[in-house]
Chain A
């Protein structure tokens, strides 16, 4: 399986600030995604990161709050803007379509644990 890394692994931020999370995959992937997982809950898809174009957001998530970049096939960033305590969560990056794997299967990064005070 591919190695997907994220940084930072965790952060504690003040209300009203922004945090950018980076996701790096060690091989090219066809698709990259950003998820949020709040304590005790399952994964919620935030958006699909599209290379060279605007991300595709799920219902309830907007670009102004969660701007996403994907400049190439192995890297993406998610920014959590103007944070509030409700944004405290684990943010997970995933990739699909890794070389040598089923095109259907997603692999996840280790996650970024965000706490907003």
Chain B
């Protein structure tokens, strides 16, 4: 199993709908979780981080973490065409070997006007 897995998509949703992006990860001890957005030709930018089970909301974005099931998701409410981008899930582990930081392959989202 890869350390971090995402569906590559593409995921298409109509404008105003909820976009749901999912990510699963390997269990390697203490973890932190991040969602990045990357527009075509641009570098990644941080959207949200989450560290404990449950939901974390920031504007139209909600990150959900379920450590028992080893998944983290990102919900985008009231999706806008400007949300069209690739969304990268990242996980940071703290292990006996040190810190490890892995990115998923990204999910491409298209919001249709």
> Chain A interface (Cβ within 8 Å of chain B)?
1, 33, 41-43, 45, 90, 92, 102, 104-111
**What are 17 sample pairs from A and B whose C-beta atoms fall under 8 A apart?**
A41-B105, A42-B106, A43-B103, A45-B101, A90-B43, A104-B34, A104-B49, A104-B92, A105-B34, A105-B46, A106-B34, A106-B101, A107-B46, A108-B43, A108-B45, A110-B42, A111-B42
The residues of B that contact A102 with a CB separation of less than 8 Å are 49
- Complex CA gap A92/B101 in Å reads 15
Tell me if A1 and B46 are in contact (CB < 8 A).
yes
* Nearest-Cβ distance from residue A61 to partner chain B, whole angstroms: 15
**A-B residue pair count with CB separations less than 8 angstroms:** 38
For residue A98, give the distance in angstroms from its CB to the closest CB of chain B: 11
Chain A residue contacts of B74, Cβ below 8 A:
none
Report the bound CA distance from A35 to B103 in whole Å: 11
Known: A102-B49, A104-B49, A105-B49. A42 touches B88 (CB 8 A): yes
